[in-house]
Amino acid sequence: MVSRGVSSVGATSGVRRRVPAARKPAGVVTRGTTNPNRLRRVDRWIAAEHARLLRAAPDPLVVDLGYGASPVTTVEFHRRLRAVRPGVETLGIEIDPERVAAALPYAGDGLSFVRGGFEVPLPDARRPVLIRAFNVLRQYGEDDVARAWSAMCAQLAPGGLLVEGTCDEPGRLATWVAVGADARPRTLTLAARLAGLGRPSDLAVRLPKALIHRNVPGEPVHAFLSAFDRAWDTHAALAPLGVRQRWAASVRALAAEWPVRTRPTRARGGEVTVDWAAVAPSGPSA
């Protein structure tokens, strides 16, 4: 059980200060498994697709919620976003105080860490323009997802974005949902390391918690993945030219029937983004 007490925060200057923990963080401790570069696919998508959001903010703050036993992916996140928006500050949040303590040596130069959960504790009056929450909801029930989204989105700056998703341990298969500050999901993105991919529906095992139990006949996300597989099979003749060409052609074919929002350059890298409304659950969870 996570105890009450105080949280250590590495401030932007690198000076650590002690701030009182107002209440027990919302959530439970995750397994904490992480690896370097595990979240590179979602980081690159954020940097490419939401650079304008970061650049438009005069003093942007982003949050990495639930970074796990090691802060390595938070450090990588910070560096990747600073490449598109110099001066962005990153706050890593973990519910386990021992993980926060282990992360503190990495604090400084706009990177800090604090203990917390879905309530998203903030060390000052600023609100984050973006929250990344990866691999934190898999152990929860489907009915818990909307409440978690609402809690996190309540802390976003106006026009901000929550990116919530999951991936396998090496980061080769990943999916995520972009959720607006109003806690309404906007898009679903699938991203894969194409070398070694059998077919698009292989990504089904890494669907976000809001969808992973919905990959059954009659549900929109199942229909979407089935259509993607059919497009993949249709373009099997492109396999000798490379898997990137086959994936990109499949995405183009998919876009003829589904509201796909992926630019060609992103598709060739193994991504596809579709409007959430097209894949949203059709009814209450079982």
Look at residues 154, 121, 234, 246 and name the one whose alpha carbon lies nearest to residue 195. 246
Q: Is there a domain that residue 155 lies in?
A: yes
Say if residue 235 is in the same domain as residue 258: yes
Q: Is there a domain that residue 131 lies in?
A: yes
In this prediction, residue 26 carries a pLDDT of 67
Look at residues 6, 10, 47, 40 and name the one whose alpha carbon lies nearest to residue 23. 6
Residue 16, domain extent? 1-183
Q: Is there a domain that residue 286 lies in?
A: no
Say if residue 48 is in the same domain as residue 149: yes
In this prediction, residue 170 carries a pLDDT of 94
Say if residue 158 is in the same domain as residue 135: yes
Say if residue 166 is in the same domain as residue 81: yes
Q: Is there a domain that residue 171 lies in?
A: yes
25, 95 Cβ separation under 8 angstroms? yes
User: What is the domain-level CATH number for residue 81?
Assistant: 3.40.50.150
Say if residue 178 is in the same domain as residue 199: no
Q: Is there a domain that residue 160 lies in?
A: yes
In this prediction, residue 24 carries a pLDDT of 77
Query: Could you say which of 153, 183, 213 is where a domain stops?
Result: 183
Number of residues in the chain: 286
Q: Is there a domain that residue 101 lies in?
A: yes
In this prediction, residue 35 carries a pLDDT of 76
Q: Helices (H), strands (E): how many in the chain?
A: 10, 10
d(CA 13, CA 140): 36
Say if residue 44 is in the same domain as residue 154: yes
Q: Tokens 């959960």 — which residue?
A: 117
The DSSP output letter for 158 is T
Per-residue pLDDT tens digits of the chain, which is 286 residues long: 222 232 333 333 333 333 344 567 765 666 657 778 999 999 999 999 999 999 999 999 999 999 988 999 999 999 999 999 999 999 999 999 999 999 999 999 999 999 999 999 998 888 999 999 999 998 899 999 999 999 999 999 999 999 999 999 999 999 999 999 999 999 999 999 999 899 999 999 999 999 999 999 999 999 999 999 999 999 999 999 999 999 999 999 999 999 999 999 999 999 999 999 999 999 776 4
In this prediction, residue 124 carries a pLDDT of 83
52, two tokens: 């304008």
Say if residue 209 is in the same domain as residue 169: no
Say if residue 163 is in the same domain as residue 267: no
Domain count, the chain: 2
Q: How many CB atoms lie within 10 A of CB 177?
A: 25
